[in-house]
């Protein structure tokens, strides 16, 4: 054995220790070194047309005959602009301000970007199931279908140790609990007119006020609560539970369109844009979310076009398969409005959520029928 002088030996030991610490500090992969997303919020505004998002309000529907509009003069003053980019920005200021500047928007077919569902039914339960599981299950052929036999990405994430107790869902439509299979998934699902904060949770003054709004609001639709009280419930849920993964579902954009009220469809869409902006600012103001949260904004299905079909969707409605997807977060390049490129599928969103959290390979191994992630939005 060769003995080193004491000073040399000490220096050598320090070098070895420094090298070992440096090695431990190196992330396991380049992707891990770059990924900053720790939280994902999936936001769905039910049945919102890609045409209204990308073209802005449709002039011929701002009428009594085709759009069921009461005060056409006021609606035109409020939302119509001659330039399509100006009127879409007027309707969706957050999406065309913040998201277009710092994120990515897919699905404007006028510039060659296509986003589509793969289920042939073209209505809500199959759409939400496809969105959350990553594939089309033809057995789910009714909005009255019972609890989903398939495991959603939300349920799968909730089984992972670092997300246990940190996955939730809030929606205005009371079928979401079946879509997610609340009983089996074991995650919080607050949907429909259900009081969002029962028992001891409701003792907090703000949450008690939200509960009262749910109890006392006029129930215009039996199965769908209004978006505004749900927005308050969502912020309170975030404050209370601090979820890592959250589903948020707004329903009025679909309900008012079915009622042939284009004025209220536009106003509810404008309100959803404001709600999303509010959630973004609220979460960015919290240390655990600031700079570490990605929003995915989309819809469960499209609608038809023209004087009659704009109110409808379903198997026989052409165009109801066309949707949009918008993404904003620290791992999504600033791509803006996507032009051309490969068509993306609704079923890719489930794996995209997993990919943003560094778990796509594991999720696809568990659910091999699921489509892979949208590569463009995961840096």
Mean pLDDT of 87-110: 98
3-class DSSP string for 160-216 = CHHHCCCEEEEECECCHHHHHCHHHHCCEEEECCCCCCCHHHHHCHHHHHHHHHHHH
Mean pLDDT of 195-219: 94
* pLDDT at 131 > cutoff 70: yes
- For 80-124, give the DSSP string: --SSHHHHHHHH-HHIIIIIHHHSEEE--GGGT--EE---SS-SH
| Distance between CA atoms of residues 302 and 312, nearest Å | 9
- Going by pLDDT thresholds of 50, 70 and 90, the confidence category of residue 379 is confident
**For residue 65, what are the contacts with CB-CB under 8 A and spacing of at least 6?**
307
Which residues span the domain enclosing 114? 38-377
CB of 206 closer than 8 Å to CB of 253: no
* Residue 233 included in any domain: yes
- Strand intervals (E) in the chain: 39-45, 104-106, 115-116, 167-171, 188-191, 245-250, 293-298, 325-328, 336-337, 344-345
pLDDT > 70: what percent of the chain?
Answer: 91
CB of 322 closer than 8 Å to CB of 103: no
Residue 173 main-chain phi, psi, to 5 deg: -90, 130
Q: Please state the pTM of the whole predicted model.
A: 0.91
* pLDDT at 11 > cutoff 60: no
Nearest to 338 by CA among 171, 161, 107: 107
* Residue 320 included in any domain: yes
pLDDT at 8: 39
pLDDT > 90: what percent of the chain?
Answer: 89
* pLDDT at 10 > cutoff 70: no
* Residue 57 included in any domain: yes
**For residue 134, what are the contacts with CB-CB under 8 A and spacing of at least 6?**
153, 347, 348, 349, 350, 351, 363, 367, 369, 370, 371
Residue tagged 């970007």 (tokens): 113
Nearest to 27 by CA among 37, 35, 38, 19: 35
pLDDT at 34: 76
Please write the tens of the pLDDT for every residue from 291-348.
Answer: 999 999 999 999 998 788 999 999 999 999 999 999 999 999 999 999 999 999 999 9
> Cα(first)–Cα(last) distance of the chain, in Å?
51
| Distance between CA atoms of residues 215 and 368, nearest Å | 43
Count of the separate structural domains present in the chain: 1
Please write the tens of the pLDDT for every residue from 134-187.
Answer: 999 999 999 999 999 999 999 999 999 999 999 999 999 999 999 999 999 999
- Give the CATH number, domain containing residue 255: 3.40.720.10
* pLDDT at 116 > cutoff 60: yes
- The tally of CA atoms less than 13 A away on the side-chain side of residue 279 is 33
* Residue 13 included in any domain: no
Nearest to 246 by CA among 187, 287, 298: 187
Please write the tens of the pLDDT for every residue from 219-276.
Answer: 999 999 999 999 999 999 999 999 999 999 999 999 999 999 999 999 999 999 999 9
Nearest to 151 by CA among 379, 378, 368, 299: 368
- The tally of CA atoms less than 13 A away on the side-chain side of residue 301 is 29
């Amino acid at each position: 054995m060769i003995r080193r002088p004491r000073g040399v030996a000490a220096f050598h030991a320090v070098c070895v220790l420094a090298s070992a610490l440096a090695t431990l500090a190196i992330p396991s992969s380049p992707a891990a070194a770059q990924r900053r997303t720790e939280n994902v919020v999936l936001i769905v505004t039910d049945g919102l047309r890609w045409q209204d998002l990308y073209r802005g309000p449709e002039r011929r529907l701002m009428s009594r005959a085709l759009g069921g509009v009461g005060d056409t003069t006021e609606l035109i003053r409020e939302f119509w602009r001659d330039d399509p980019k100006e009127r879409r920005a007027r309707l969706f200021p957050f999406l065309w301000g913040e998201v277009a500047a710092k994120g990515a928007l897919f699905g404007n077919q006028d510039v060659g970007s296509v986003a589509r569902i793969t289920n042939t039914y073209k209505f809500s339960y199959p759409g939400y199931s496809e969105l959350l599981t990553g594939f089309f299950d033809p057995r789910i052929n009714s909005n009255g279908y019972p609890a989903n036999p398939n495991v959603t990405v939300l349920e799968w994430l909730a089984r992972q140790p670092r997300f246990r107790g940190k996955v939730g869902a809030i929606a205005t439509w009371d079928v979401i609990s079946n879509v997610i299979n609340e009983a089996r998934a074991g995650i919080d699902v607050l949907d429909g007119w259900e009081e969002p904060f029962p028992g001891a949770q409701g003792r907090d003054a703000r949450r008690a006020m939200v509960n009262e709004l749910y109890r006392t609001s006029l129930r215009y639709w039996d199965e769908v609560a209004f978006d505004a009280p749900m927005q308050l419930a969502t912020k309170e849920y975030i404050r209370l539970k601090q979820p890592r993964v959250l589903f948020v579902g707004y329903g009025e954009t679909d309900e008012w369109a079915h009622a042939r009220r284009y004025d209220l469809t536009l106003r509810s869409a404008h309100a959803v844009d404001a709600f999303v902006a509010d959630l973004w600012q609220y979460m960015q103001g919290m240390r655990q979310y600031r700079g570490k949260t990605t929003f995915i904004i989309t819809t469960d299905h499209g609608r038809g076009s023209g004087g009659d079909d704009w109110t409808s969707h379903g198997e026989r409605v052409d165009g109801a398969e066309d949707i949009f997807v918008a993404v904003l977060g620290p791992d999504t390049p600033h791509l803006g409005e996507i032009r051309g490129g490969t068509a993306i599928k609704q079923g890719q969103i489930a794996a995209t959520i997993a990919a943003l959290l560094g778990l796509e390979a594991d999720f696809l191994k568990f659910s091999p029928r699921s489509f892979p992630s949208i590569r463009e939005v995961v840096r």
